[in-house]
Chain A
């Protein structure tokens, strides 16, 4: 296999990380909604934490993007 093809395959493989991130973001908002339905009064208090968790999880997806970009454009 030549290097260019391996590079493209590697960049594609890097996006597998999105599976975990999808599970994570779904988990965060799913838990928030089910918690908020049980106790609506507490929902506004934890929403900041929800957004923080979302941003931290989303960042993992972007690490994968950075790796894909490094593979495609740097090597």
Chain B
């Protein structure tokens, strides 16, 4: 029997090899799906809002719902000052959401199942929040590492812990998304292998599990985009309201 590796689906293939100045900038399946995600988002938002009527159509209310969802998230977690970062968080949410959802289509590629992609997104958030924090609060941003109401003899320890937990933010943010996507797709592939191995007689059992699993994966795909966006909001809130 032919043996399929469940991790094979994450392989990056060069579609159009390109080298510019010794740097590999080939167009890969990852690139194609990123571009596809952005094209779909643009298409979805522009086509849905084309009519722009007062009584929304079904597509228009979907676009408005996603807009309001992120708008409320920022208002509740960051406050009014956070509204100017709405475009960034909205784009981040939509990009992660569409990449996750596109990955659920069989034989497609999940961009967010690669840690370098999620880490790049998380690093942008981390560096951006740090810069915004220092611009808005100056050196006062360092108060983030000094929680109020801590006994003075515990402070040296607490500051080190707070600083380390701040530094691990991009890692936990990126690994959370990457691991969720990778684990889900690996489980699906492993059980897909069971279906083939068990044949027609017993193969329906893992197949039923896969159907249930796809439902869970759909929830996770949406939930992880939500978690990514809301944690970005929470980090941004630290930059605006430093006192712990």
Query: Which residues of A pack against B, CB within 8 Å?
Result: 51-52, 54-56, 58-59, 62-63, 65-66, 73
Bound-state CA distance A10–B218 (Å) is 32
**Contact B223 A55, beta carbon cutoff 8 Å:** yes
B230 contacts chain A at the CB level, 8 A cutoff: yes
Binding-face segment, B23-31, B148-156, B175-183: B175-183
Binary flags per residue of B149-182, CB closer than 8 Å to A gives 1, else 0 = 0000000000000000000000010011001101
Task: Say yes or no: A63 contacts B175, CB within 8 Å.
Answer: yes
Cross-chain contact A52 with B179 (CB below 8 angstroms)? no
Interface status of B213 (Cβ within 8 A of chain A): no
CB–CB B230/A58 < 8 A? no
Distance to closest chain A CB from B151 (angstroms):
29
Q: Does B242 contact A (CB under 8 A)?
A: no
Q: Judge whether B227 is part of the interface by a CB distance below 8 angstroms.
A: yes
Pick the residue among B179, B226, B227, B230 that contacts A62 (CB under 8 A). Answer: B179
Contact yes or no, B179 A63, CB < 8 A: yes
Q: Which residues of B contact A54 (CB under 8 A)?
A: 223
Return the contact of B179 from the options A51, A56, A59, A73 (Cβ within 8 A): A59
Highest count of chain A CB atoms <10 Å: which of B179, B220, B227: B179
Contact A59 B180, CB 8 Å, known A52-B230, A66-B175: yes
Tell me the complex Cα distance, A58–B176, Å: 9
> Would you call B223 and A62 a contact (CB within 8 A)?
no
Q: Is the C-beta of B232 less than 8 angstroms from some C-beta in chain A?
A: no
7 additional A-B pairs beyond A55-B176, A66-B179, beta carbons within 8 Å, are A51-B223, A58-B180, A59-B175, A62-B175, A62-B176, A63-B175, A73-B7
In the complex, B224 has a CB within 8 A of chain A: yes
Check A65–B183 contact: CB distance below 8 A: yes
Chain B residues within 8 Å of A62, by CB: 175-176, 179-180, 183
Would A56 and B180 count as touching, CB distance under 8 A?
A: no
Over the window 79-105 of chain B, the binary record of Cβ atoms lying under 8 Å from chain A Cβ atoms (1 yes, 0 no) is: 000000000000000000000000000
A67 to B21, CA, bound (A): 36
For residue A65, which residues in chain B have a CB less than 8 angstroms away from its CB? Answer: 179, 183
Contact (Cβ within 8 A) B175 A56: no
Segment 172-198 of B: residues with Cβ below 8 Å from A: 172, 175-176, 179-180, 182-183
